[in-house]
Amino acid sequence: MSGIRHPASFRDPSGFIFTSEGVLYRHLAPASRECYDALMRTGLYEKLVGKGLLLPHEEQADAARLSEGAYKVIRPRRLPFVSYPYEWCFSQLRDAALATLRVQSLALEHGMSLRDASAYNIQFPAGRGRPLLIDTLSFEPYVEGRPWVAYRQFCQHFLAPLALMSHRDVRFGSMLRTCIDGIPLDFASALLPRWTKLSPSLAPHVHMHARFQRAHGDAAREGPPRKERPVSRRGLEGILSSLESAIRGLRWEPGRGASEWGDYYDDTNYSDEAEQSKRSGVEALARSLDPDLAFDLGANTGEFSRILSQRGVHTVAFDVDPVAVERNYRRVREKKEEHLLPLCMDLTNPSPGLGWAHAERDSLEGRGPADVVLALALVHHLAISNNLPLALVADYFARLGRELIVEFVPKHDSQVERLLATREDIFPDYTQDGFEASFGTRFEIRERRPVAGSERTLYRMSRR
């Protein structure tokens, strides 16, 4: 019997991911034997799993039956949702970088070393803001004198984007969507402020690094390979320590006034009564559902996402604004909240399928559908600010989730009046009847709940 091989799992000859009867497994090729056995034998696996830095797995007894030619088949613990670095806020990428360095230091203590430092190998599975490594086959025995093979990847995937986000603009994070193997260092070097060439961390790891890559990029034509210059163990530890201070030195504070939505909850038209009524309305509508995975679209700082996540529902809180996502993430981390994953997502241009044949990184839709989609105070932004016909909004929501809790905000609501103040009203169909008619073609309307103290209505709908 052989499962279906995952389309993104082709780079690594030592193993691949496949699914069989809906369960995700990893095939370990005979070539991975030495590395995998060393990971388990040295106690590194136990140490990392104990610290929550590595995704646990179980070895399967019937390896040969599950996958032909496998040395072993392992079953990694299931991730409720996979996120990508271009969807993370600043602190998520920073924490992922620190986790990678921590894993590498612990690996060295156990005589092992990371051979990949890809940001895609890090996930935030259980909320709490604690990132962990998901790639069990990332380790190899450490050989004294060898440089860190993943050094360049670490600088491209973590240091360069974080430096640009911190020293230029936080929106550089979205560049990772274009540069799928991290930001090339010559590119980062050209984009960073000139003064960073004086920074004791960015000068060597980004600027000098880019220069060395150019100067020695044509090594194949420079004649027979030179003898590899050794990097002592202390030297390697020094580099890791320098990288750690470089990452810790990069900061970004979500500024006031700079954000689209960061201060939204201080800047709404809700009375306390409406706020309370909306909250209890969403709670009541959610009570009849028993989802495993929820998407909160336009979640802002996650006020309403928490209604679900605090019930133990794995909730992904998407927002277009990096400030709101940053605040949400910091709150998750501070309170060690579980089941809540804040992510950056522009719904008018959601994450597409990326990489080779569009299959290496899944689109948002490809990672769904969620059991329930929350769309509160969102539809008027899509319909009015983005000229999206309600039928198209309903259509996309139906592709993202099976159940829907959605809020309709009428035209005479002061927030919609604000949107219409600076544009011509070309939205004759934006009425409650028009909304129900459009969504009714895709969903069956199960429940309506007016939000007291406002003109708004909450709906619970099921996909047809």
Give the binding site for another protein (CB under 8 A). 51, 95, 98-99, 102, 147-148, 151-152, 185-186, 197-198, 200, 203-204, 207-220, 228-232, 234-239, 241-242
Cis amide leading into 369 (omega within 30): yes
Decide whether 212 or 356 has the Cβ nearer to another protein: 212
Give me the amino acid identity at 296: D
Decide whether 246 or 378 has the Cβ nearer to another protein: 246
Provide the strand spans (E) within 241-344. 293-297, 314-319, 340-344
Decide whether 132 or 461 has the Cβ nearer to another protein: 132
Q: At what angle do helices 432-442 and 390-400 cross, to 10 degrees?
A: 40
Q: List the 15-20 sheet strands across, edge first.
A: 4-5, 15-20, 23-28, 72-76, 57-59
Decide whether 69 or 193 has the Cβ nearer to another protein: 193
Query: Which DSSP symbol is given to 350?
Result: -
Q: How far is the CB of 235 from another protein (least distance, A)?
A: 3
Q: How far is the CB of 94 from another protein (least distance, A)?
A: 10
- For residues 285 and 308, the answer to whether their CB atoms sit within 8 Å is no
Decide whether 152 or 278 has the Cβ nearer to another protein: 152
Decide whether 20 or 105 has the Cβ nearer to another protein: 105
| Residues 6+ away with beta carbon under 8 Å from 396 | none
Cα–Cα–Cα angle for 369, 303, 55, rounded to 5 degrees: 55
Tokens 């919609």, residue located: 416
Decide whether 202 or 451 has the Cβ nearer to another protein: 202
> Between the CA of residue 356 and those of 2, 145, 153, 367, 452, what are the distances in Å?
23, 35, 19, 17, 50
Encode 269-289: b = buried (16+ Cβ within 10 Å), e = exposed. ebeeebbebbeebbeebbeeb
Q: How far is the CB of 146 from another protein (least distance, A)?
A: 9
Q: How far is the CB of 240 from another protein (least distance, A)?
A: 9
Decide whether 186 or 365 has the Cβ nearer to another protein: 186
Q: How far is the CB of 222 from another protein (least distance, A)?
A: 9
Q: How far is the CB of 160 from another protein (least distance, A)?
A: 13
Cα–Cα–Cα angle for 30, 32, 37, rounded to 5 degrees: 105
Q: How far is the CB of 302 from another protein (least distance, A)?
A: 20
Q: Compute the distance between CA of residue 7 and CA of residue 9 in angstroms, rounded to an integer.
A: 6
Q: How far is the CB of 122 from another protein (least distance, A)?
A: 12
